[in-house]
């Protein structure tokens, strides 16, 4: 049953285009993400290259110390600046290789965690804000209310917006936390359609 549900979600997921990027195509100020599981992604702001390494500012936790970028293992979730390998790292799983660029100015009917209707700021400003928050903090991490997607969208637009968390919250409210993914997907999309009609 769970396998079937996962397959259904994956099938719906694949109906929507996402912008996958090679490391060499990254531009300063890009909001990027990698998948940690079907439908759950990790987000950060690409802040550029230094001495052959490419750096990302993101909410990190339990990323092992890295000889390449000098990241020291941390056990609390906090904003960190690391190389791309550290950004993609996930415990007990092979390094995720597909990297995606979050889309801005997208249409309203869209996949949670991949894009937003909001318009982005100029890239220099995005990088500046990411570094400023790295120093000052972005509050305590919260999966639903202050997560990695919120941080990245805030850097890009000045508004924290996690479509992923909204989706999860709606799903939880509907099914009492059970993993009825296809049903919650349907709920999410029909809600988005309603919003579109209203707007």
Taking the complex as a whole, how short is the minimal distance between the CB of residue 86 and Zn ion, in angstroms?
Answer: 4
Nearest residue (CB) to Zn ion, 32 versus 86: 86
The span from the CA of 58 to the CA of 56, in Å, is 6
- Which residue out of 31, 42, 43, 71 is catalytically annotated? 42
Residue 58 falls in the annotated catalytic set: yes
Structure tokens at 77: 């979730």
Residue 148 falls in the annotated catalytic set: yes
- Which residue out of 31, 43, 58, 71 is catalytically annotated? 58
Taking the complex as a whole, how short is the minimal distance between the CB of residue 193 and Zn ion, in angstroms?
Answer: 42
Taking the complex as a whole, how short is the minimal distance between the CB of residue 64 and Zn ion, in angstroms?
Answer: 9
CB 114 within 8 A of CB 102: yes
Nearest residue (CB) to Zn ion, 96 versus 117: 96
Nearest residue (CB) to Zn ion, 41 versus 82: 82
Cβ contacts of residue 95 below 8 Å, gap of 6+? 85, 88, 89
Cβ contacts of residue 59 below 8 Å, gap of 6+? 44, 77, 78, 79, 80, 138, 141, 147, 148, 151
Residue nearest to Zn ion (CB): 66
Give the footprint of Zn ion on this chain (CB under 5 A). 66, 68-69, 71, 82-83, 86
Residue 71 falls in the annotated catalytic set: no
Site of tokens 């906090």: 78
Nearest residue (CB) to Zn ion, 93 versus 198: 93
Taking the complex as a whole, how short is the minimal distance between the CB of residue 71 and Zn ion, in angstroms?
Answer: 5
The span from the CA of 42 to the CA of 99, in Å, is 10
- Looking only at Cα atoms, what is the longest distance across the chain? 52
- Which residue out of 86, 88, 115, 148 is catalytically annotated? 148
Q: Hey, which residues are catalytic here?
A: 42, 58, 148
């Amino acid at each position: 049953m769970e396998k079937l549900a996962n397959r259904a979600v994956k099938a719906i997921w694949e109906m929507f285009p996402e912008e996958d990027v090679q490391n060499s195509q990254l531009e300063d100020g890009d909001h990027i993400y990698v998948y940690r599981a079907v439908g759950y992604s990790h987000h950060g702001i690409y802040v550029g290259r230094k001495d052959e390494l490419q750096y990302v500012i993101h909410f990190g936790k339990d990323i092992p110390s890295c000889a390449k970028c000098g990241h020291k293992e941390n056990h609390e979730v906090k904003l960190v600046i690391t190389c791309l390998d550290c950004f993609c790292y996930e415990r007990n799983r092979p390094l995720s290789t597909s990297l995606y660029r979050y889309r801005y100015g997208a249409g309203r009917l869209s996949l949670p965690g991949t894009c937003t209707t909001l318009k982005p700021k100029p890239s220099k400003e995005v990088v500046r804000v990411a570094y400023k928050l790295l120093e000052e903090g972005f509050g305590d991490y919260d999966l639903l209310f202050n997560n990695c997607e919120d941080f990245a969208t805030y850097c890009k637009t000045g508004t924290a917006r996690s479509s992923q968390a909204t989706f999860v919250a709606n799903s939880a409210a509907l099914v009492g936390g059970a993993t009825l993914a296809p049903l919650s997907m349907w709920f999410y999309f029909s809600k988005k359609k309603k919003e579109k009609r209203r707007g």
